[in-house]
């Protein structure tokens, strides 16, 4: 598995398995199947309510913890110094681990600076190997980077053919921060799996639309999170190391860019209020 070196020299596998919206009852087996398919990078979060099942899947996978890269995220209500310190141990307990490889602030709200100080302390203590953010606009992530002892290692954001975020990605990389793509398949929106441009590129290489998208992101040195509960899809999504896209292919994919989120705006006041009201049940 190819990896990307973070700004603190920790290496992260470029392909990850995300468990967002996988029901807890299915998560353990999905994690086992993903690891058996070859994934060594698993991404979860406090808000996904399946950290316990992720931990069980890892424990029962037959692969040593040290061979895996595990990410979890701090939810909005816990984004403060005390919130991180009080909630992170709960994440470790649910995962059944002594440390995680990457800890992210899940959304750019609440006391981000206080949370970052706590995360920096956790990193120094060895309970976290790298720290980063998720869903931060470029100005917010640069601000955090400039005025703190430790700059974010990663910004996990929505990146897909309809929301390519080219300028944001360039700006993030210029700060020494690795971009990581969630929803690379736009959760199937706009009939993406039957998209004519992507399908034609896939036919040329005898690859699926999903494989073309993952390859397109990987060739930009973007860490990619893919999700499926079907073992055959897991294996397919990771089988992207035997072909390369041409400049013509990339130019064709560039024409698909709508330039806006396929889900919601993180600057929408109503969305901020909704996320602030979304409380965890543990």
Strand residue runs (E) in 114-237: 128-134, 154-158, 178-182, 223-226
Asked about 109 being catalytic, the answer comes back as: no
Spatial distance between the Cα atoms of 153 and 230, rounded to a whole number of angstroms: 31
Query: Among residues 20, 39, 48, 205, which one is catalytic?
Result: 48
Question: Are the C-beta atoms of 61 and 32 separated by less than 8 Å?
Answer: yes
**CB-count burial class (<10 Å; 0-12, 13-18, 19+) for 64:** exposed
Q: Would you say 220 and 169 are in contact if contact means Cβ atoms under 8 Å apart?
A: yes
C-alpha–C-alpha distance, residues 105 and 81, integer Å: 12
Flag whether 266 is marked binding: no
Residues in the chain, overall count: 282
Where residue 195 falls (left for φ over 0; alpha for ψ -120 to 50; beta otherwise) is beta
130 and 6 Cβ atoms separated by less than 8 Å? yes
8 Å CB contact between 40 and 11: no
What pairs with residue 224 in β-bridges?
A: 15, 181
* Catalytic positions: 48
Q: Which residues are annotated as a binding site for substrate?
A: 106
Q: Which residues are annotated as a binding site?
A: 106
């Amino acid at each position: 598995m190819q990896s990307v070196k973070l700004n603190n020299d920790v290496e992260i596998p470029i392909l990850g398995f995300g468990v967002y919206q996988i029901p807890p009852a299915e998560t353990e087996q999905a994690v086992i199947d993903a690891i058996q398919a070859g994934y060594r990078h698993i991404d979860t979060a406090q808000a996904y309510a399946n950290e316990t099942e992720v931990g069980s899947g890892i424990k029962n996978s037959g692969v040593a913890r040290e061979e895996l890269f595990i990410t979890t995220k701090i939810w909005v209500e816990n984004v403060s110094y005390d919130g991180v310190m009080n909630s992170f141990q709960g994440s470790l307990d649910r995962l059944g681990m002594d440390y995680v490889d990457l800890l992210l602030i899940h959304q750019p709200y609440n006391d981000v600076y206080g949370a970052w100080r706590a995360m920096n302390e956790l990193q120094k203590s060895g309970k976290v190997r790298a720290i980063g953010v998720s869903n931060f606009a470029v100005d917010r992530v640069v601000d955090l980077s400039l005025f703190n002892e430790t700059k974010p290692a990663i910004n996990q954001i929505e990146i897909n053919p309809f929301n390519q975020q080219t300028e944001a990605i360039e700006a993030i990389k210029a700060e020494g921060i690795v971009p990581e793509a969630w929803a690379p398949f736009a959760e199937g929106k706009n009939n993406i799996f039957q998209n004519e441009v992507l399908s034609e590129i896939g036919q040329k290489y005898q690859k699926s639309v999903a494989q073309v998208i993952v390859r397109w992101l990987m060739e930009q040195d973007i860490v990619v999170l893919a999700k499926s509960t079907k073992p055959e899809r897991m294996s397919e999504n990771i089988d992207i190391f035997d072909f390369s896209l041409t400049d013509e292919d990339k130019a064709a994919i560039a024409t698909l860019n709508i330039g806006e989120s396929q889900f919601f705006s993180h600057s929408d006041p109503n969305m901020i209020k909704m996320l602030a009201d979304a409380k965890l049940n543990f």
